[in-house]
Structure 1
């Protein structure tokens, strides 16, 4: 079942489409994080200003250097020791769709501890966007049953896993990491 869903999602991602998929936090809208047109589709679906950047997912911290110019050492400790899902904002984003990178050159990255996400990203061999499955300004849906029809109808594929799970999930903690290793909580 999971393999089949990964194959379907991969096909959509490779063709510049948008998927609706389960993550280690809330359900996400995803696309190829290196494809500017695909990223633009997510901004349009969410009615979100493209000046607000999105989170990307990678499968391992070894890939950080592919998308971030300089990684403060403390980042590896934060990733290794965090219990809860953690998104880190790094300066010096690179090799990503330009409309994904924040105006200050930063990018938010999370490494999900979630089987489907891990396998999908490994097979895709590129980072994928992960933004909450809601119209901008509306509440973040805590589980699949709370996602609006507008969002479901607006994607190219809805992953057929975990849809019956009614557990109320939370968004990740977000930390902004400075070059010297200093950090600030953006969302706890």
Structure 2
């Protein structure tokens, strides 16, 4: 099922429908500030397993997740003073930041190094969904592992709709990915160059 939501002013009644699906264990596709993502509640183990199958992704590669603001980031990740300054400067934006995980993060989302990837996308729809749900959602690009991300919600529905509970249509998006930056050490390390400018890391 495709639900069209206004990209600039998301309708609260439609956001509520999406959140209801997530609360019931649903897996959805939704717009971010890069391309379309696939997600579910971070506390929905069955949903996370479904996304692994859908993506054909190895279990040893945990998914990142979306937080609504920096205070929520600090609940799920250990944020140093220097990391906080970087997060404050670049979020919301097209970045995934790797940080040390706190104990409340589900094991499925933590790497062997006890780290997590966290996003705060600059997109009103996914921010409204996460805020209304009350806790983070999984974020991973809408594509099979190794293939190009999909920026057209109707293509997402066509290729993946049978394995999803909802596709949130927020318009056509470029097939971009976020830049991934590790903030584990004393200075930022670029793990993947994407849409977000990483010249400040050098």
Asked whether the two chains share a fold, i.e. TM above 0.5, the reply is yes
Structure 2: runs of 5+ lacking an equivalent: 6-10, 194-202
> 1:174 aligned to 174, 180, 186, which one?
180
Deviation at 1:169, TM superposition (A): 4.2
> 2:88 aligned to 80, 86, 90, which one?
80
Deviation at 1:26, TM superposition (A): 0.8
For residues 186 and 157 of structure 1, what CA distance do their matches in structure 2 show?
A: 31
For residues 177 and 169 of structure 2, what CA distance do their matches in structure 1 show?
A: 21
Deviation at 1:152, TM superposition (A): 2.1
Q: Secondary structure at the match of 2:14?
A: helix
Give CA deviations for 1:2-48 in whole Å, capped at 9, x if unaligned: 32321121011101110111111110001001222211111111111
Deviation at 1:146, TM superposition (A): 4.7
For residues 69 and 23 of structure 2, what CA distance do their matches in structure 1 show?
A: 20
Structure 1: runs of 5+ lacking an equivalent: none
- What is the aligned residue count? 183
For residues 63 and 43 of structure 1, what CA distance do their matches in structure 2 show?
A: 25
Are the aligned partners of 1:86 and 1:173 in contact in 2 as well (CA < 8 Å)?
yes
> What RMSD in Å do the two structures reach over aligned CA positions?
1.9
Structure 2 residue 24 is matched with structure 1 residue 15: yes
Q: Secondary structure at the match of 2:169?
A: coil
Give CA deviations for 1:107-164 in whole Å, capped at 9, x if unaligned: 10011221111111111111000100111122222443553733222101111332xx
| Pairs within 5 Å for 1:26-37 | 26-37=35-46
Structure 2 residue 127 is matched with structure 1 residue 105: no
Q: TM-score, normalised by structure 1?
A: 0.88
Deviation at 1:65, TM superposition (A): 2.1
For residues 76 and 99 of structure 1, what CA distance do their matches in structure 2 show?
A: 25
For residues 147 and 59 of structure 1, what CA distance do their matches in structure 2 show?
A: 24
For residues 90 and 169 of structure 2, what CA distance do their matches in structure 1 show?
A: 29
Are the aligned partners of 1:39 and 1:100 in contact in 2 as well (CA < 8 Å)?
no
Deviation at 1:168, TM superposition (A): 1.9
Name segments (4+ residues, structure 1) moved above 4 Å. none
Give CA deviations for 1:84-127 in whole Å, capped at 9, x if unaligned: 51110112343232212112211100112211111111111110
